[in-house]
Chain A
Amino acid sequence: MGEAGEFVGLDNFTKAWEDTIFQTAFKNTVFYTFWATIFKLVLGMWLALLLNRSFPFKRIVRASMLLPFIVPTVLSAWAWRWMFDPTFSVMNWSLYHMGLISDRLPFLSDGDWAMWCAVVVNTWRGMPFFAITLLAGLQTISPELHEASALDGANAWNRFWHVTWPLLLPVTLVVVVFSVIQTFSDFQLIYVLTGGGPANSTHLIATYAYQIGVGSGLLGEGAALSLFMFPVLFAVVWAQLRSLKRMDNA
């Protein structure tokens, strides 16, 4: 830092590519993005369908469902980390006293478990975004369509699959793209929950880039690591712009 840099060509990139921790981080990022997006889509869609009905206190319920999305992620992630605490976990306590487990679950102390925990927390945080944006889409669908297909004998699942889903597809696609970008580049959640541990097994690209670039002060290598996100994100955005254009034309 401070002195004039030296052009190193693609050295930083090849070095990153051969780094086994980076390879793990890359796999983790794909895993994390894939599962969290699926869960967010399924749960968010379900929640949107529930919120689309009329029931008492609807406005308050809808507003409070957005809280996980509003509150700073690092702060709510601390609450989750406390709930996952190895010794004082409220979840282990509850499960143990309900007689469901005889030994504590290794929420964040095992790499595989920790990745799933991160997926759960990310789902928790992002689900409201899906639910509210999909709800906005649902509200544009005329209820008469549903009534007509119900009269034709379609059950609830068929009505969803053949009426709601196709009409909602454009909104869904955009929301998924936004979410994939956010999740693929996520940093805060893992930084707080595991810090990339145990033994570097839960790093995402962004947290590893931070550890190398800022933690170890190797700015060039860190920047190269985070740039590995770019091709993936570029492809996602390109696909979105294309499909949006196609829908505009259709």
Chain B
Amino acid sequence: MLIERKWKKWVYFYVPLAAFIVFALFPFYWMAVTAFRPDAELYHTWRQANATPFWTLHPTLEHVEGLLRTTAFLQWLWNTMLIAIVSTVISLICGTFAGYALARLKFRGSEFLGTAIFITYLVPQTLLFIPLADIIRDMHLGNTPWALMLTYPTFLIPFCTWLLMGYFKTIPKELEECARIDGATRFGAMVWIIFPVAVPGILSAGIFAFTLSWNEFIYALVFMASAEQKTVPVGVVSELVRGDIFFWGQLMAGALLGSVPVAIVYSFFVEYYVTGMTGSVKG
């Protein structure tokens, strides 16, 4: 081991790490403080003296109540959840089969197809939202959850396929060969032998896909028009600024409550999420 003097460890390690933690987490702290701070305390201008600038002694639920009373926030939560789950499941099913095929079956153009999927997965949503808006309109899906359930897989399927293709390649071929020798069909070996082994990979892809669809913004913004069809990100942005007035307490309450579900899902599956993330950039 490399030996280090104590003061050096403070200067080079603890202080920078603490600075990173403050930088990364302060906005969330501020979001939470604002969400529970009464309006009278909230609107202190930058020059005014303030006895409790960084916390509050009078926490209140008025903003949360206001949010639930004046907007369809719970409906947005439900929409976001439903859309994220359905599009994740669709993408996982397609991605698992496609990933297996690309990893295992040798067919003409399989290499090219793999690269093509990788490129598709890199295409940003902001490049496609206008043409997709046109398609959604032609199919009369605008303003229905299907508009998002069917468009999110356009970036989730390539992602899941790419990730799972990498995962399937790490599973030894011998495993299914044994099953084939014992009389299993190729399909049977895939479903009953390989898929169970691949569960951690599928879970990683699923968690990552779920957070991606929870966070998606531009498609939801363009395809959803009426207030009760919106997802949380779009609803918070578009319904909580009325005219020129920002309801900061409610905005922060909405931001906080909209972040909590995805943070909870994440906290249960941190390791899978990290695997998904590091796997997503592997060539």
Contact = CB atoms under 8 A, between A and B. Distances in A.
B28 interface: yes
Contacts of A205: 126
Interface stretch (B46-54, B98-106, B169-177): B46-54
A120 B248 CA distance: 22
Interface string B267-283: 10010011001101111
Interface residues of A, number: 81
A59 B271 CA distance: 10
Contacts, number: 205
Nearest to A214: B222
Nearest to A59: B270
Interface string B27-46: 11011001000000011111
Nearest to A224: B130
A249 to B, nearest CB: 12
Contacts of B42: 88
Given A50-B13, A74-B237, 14 more contacts: A43-B20, A65-B24, A72-B258, A78-B251, A88-B42, A90-B30, A104-B46, A132-B277, A133-B277, A170-B283, A210-B126, A214-B130, A229-B127, A233-B127
A124 B233 contact: no
A64 B24 contact: yes
A199 interface: no
A187 B27 contact: no
B178 interface: no
A134 to B, nearest CB: 9
Interface size on B, as a range, is: 35 or more
B283 A192 contact: no
Interface string A177-195: 0100110111110011000
Residue among A97, A104, A222, A230 with max Cβ neighbours from chain B (10 Å):
A97
B50 to A, nearest CB: 7
Contacts of A68: 24, 27
17 contacts: A64-B24, A66-B274, A68-B27, A71-B28, A72-B259, A76-B31, A82-B34, A83-B27, A83-B30, A92-B46, A124-B23, A124-B27, A182-B124, A206-B218, A210-B129, A226-B127, A237-B119
A167 interface: no
B13 A223 contact: no
A75 interface: yes
Contacts of B17: 50, 55, 61
Contact of A78 (B124, B127, B214, B236): B236
Secondary structure of the B side of the interface?
helix
Residue among B31, B42, B53, B234 with max Cβ neighbours from chain A (10 Å):
B31
Interface of B: 1-2, 12-13, 16-17, 20-21, 23-25, 27-28, 30-31, 34, 42-47, 50, 53-54, 115, 119, 122-127, 129-131, 133-134, 137, 211, 214-215, 217-218, 222, 232-234, 236-237, 248, 251-252, 254-255, 258-259, 262-263, 266-267, 270, 273-274, 277-278, 280-283
Given A219-B134, A222-B130, A82 B248 contact: yes
Given A65-B24, A72-B259, A73-B215, A241 B115 contact: yes
A93 B50 contact: yes
